[in-house]
């Protein structure tokens, strides 16, 4: 009986690991869709100018990785606290890259009036950049409660909403997904962090 339970546990772990691997691949494929390489502890490619018109290579140092470790350490207590820590990491990351990409004063909810400007970022840029950061956090094993999954989108014009995309993480235990969306906020402010069902209803 013990052997049977052990076999069942092994299969469960295998299935869970496979699901996490697939989700990670989906996030990486999203980056590849916009010709953005996977981030490394020494560099990340940042999109801006709308739909990744511009791509800027930003170098990362030991101090940057140390800062990310410090921020994510605050979220080790619970899944909800990790979401808060992820939000803090995204805000820090936007401030970190802003001076090099010229997006420090980007427009919140940037729309057609800002399209094509090197200093601006649309929701595609933001979803790519946030996903890249999340993949880096995952690769550094700084996420305890969540996996990085493919971004989500909402709005198809036919429903009288502009198309909009966001980065997403999923709770490893419950599967609950959260939108991590900095596009509505000013550069360096904490992003919207919402259950995906709530985010999908937004306008």
pLDDT digits over 108-140, tens only?
A: 999 999 999 999 999 999 999 999 999 999 999
Residue ranges making up the domain that contains 45: 2-200
Residue among 122, 151, 148 nearest 33 (CA): 151
196 vs 177: CA distance, rounded Å: 6
Does residue 192 surpass a pLDDT of 50?
yes
Percent of the chain topping pLDDT 90: 83
List the helix and strand counts (H, then E) for the chain: 5, 6
What is the rounded radius of gyration, in angstroms, for the C-alpha atoms of the chain? 18
Instruction: Tell if the pTM clears 0.85, that is, is over it.
Output: yes
* Average pLDDT along the chain: 89
Question: Are 180 and 168 contacting, i.e. CB atoms less than 8 angstroms apart?
Answer: yes
What total number of domains does the chain contain? 1
């Amino acid at each position: 009986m013990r052997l049977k339970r052990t076999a069942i546990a092994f299969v469960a772990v295998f299935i869970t690991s496979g699901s996490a691997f697939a989700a990670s691949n989906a996030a990486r494929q999203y980056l590849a869709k916009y010709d953005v390489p996977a981030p490394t502890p020494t560099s990340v490619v940042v999109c801006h100018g709308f739909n990744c018109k511009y791509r800027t290579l930003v170098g990362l140092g030991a101090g940057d990785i140390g800062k990310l470790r410090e921020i994510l350490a605050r979220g080790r207590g619970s899944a909800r606290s990790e979401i808060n820590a992820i939000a803090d990491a995204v805000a820090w990351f936007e401030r970190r890259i802003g001076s090099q990409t010229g997006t420090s004063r980007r427009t919140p909810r940037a729309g057609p009036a800002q399209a094509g400007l090197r200093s601006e970022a649309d929701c595609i840029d933001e979803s790519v950049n946030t996903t890249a950061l999340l993949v880096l956090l995952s690769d550094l094993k700084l996420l305890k409660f969540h996996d990085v999954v493919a971004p989500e989108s909402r709005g198809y014009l036919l429903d009288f909403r502009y198309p909009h995309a966001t980065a997403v993480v999923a709770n490893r235990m419950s599967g609950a997904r959260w939108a991590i969306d900095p596009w509505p906020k000013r550069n360096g402010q904490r992003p919207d962090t919402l259950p995906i069902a709530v985010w999908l209803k937004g306008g």
